[in-house]
Amino acid sequence: MKAPDTMTCEEVARQLWAYIDGELTPELNDRVRAHLEDCARCYPRYDFHQAFLIFLGMHAEQPAPPGLRRKVWEQILREHERGEREDD
């Protein structure tokens, strides 16, 4: 017999990303977790989504070019000096 708080696979699929992100209410979070523990269909999907996010994170780092840091810094110095002249 189906327990009253049992979620369907479709309902779980809709909440899965927010579940992985830790953005569900504690009550909904527990219901999704309970479903995943028992469901052979949904667990691999959850596992795939997690692997996908780890994969994206691994490709995320894009440091600013060193020249840009210098340009931003010089621009702020100019702006600062302009501000000081206006104060005088």
Partner 1 sequence: MNPDHPPDAAANKAGFVEEALAHLDRVYSFALRLTRGNSDEADDLVQETFLRAYRSWETYARGTNARAWLFRICRNTFLRQQEQRRRRPESGAAELNGQTEARTAPVSAFDQVHALDPEKRFFASFVDDEVMRAVDGLPREFREAVALSDLEELSYGEIAEVLEVPLGTVKSRIYRGRQLLQEALVAYALEMGYLKQPKGTA
Residues forming the site for partner 1 (CB under 8 A): 14, 17-18, 21, 23, 44-45, 48-49, 51-53, 55-57, 59-65, 68-69, 71-73, 75-76, 79-80, 83-84, 87
Cα separations in angstroms, 65 against 40, 55, 62, 71, 87: 47, 24, 9, 10, 34
Q: How far is the CB of 59 from partner 1 (least distance, A)?
A: 4
Give the nearer residue to partner 1 in terms of CB position, either 1 or 56.
56
Give the nearer residue to partner 1 in terms of CB position, either 3 or 54.
54
Q: What is the DSSP letter of 62?
A: -
C-alpha to C-alpha distance for 18 and 40, rounded to whole angstroms = 20
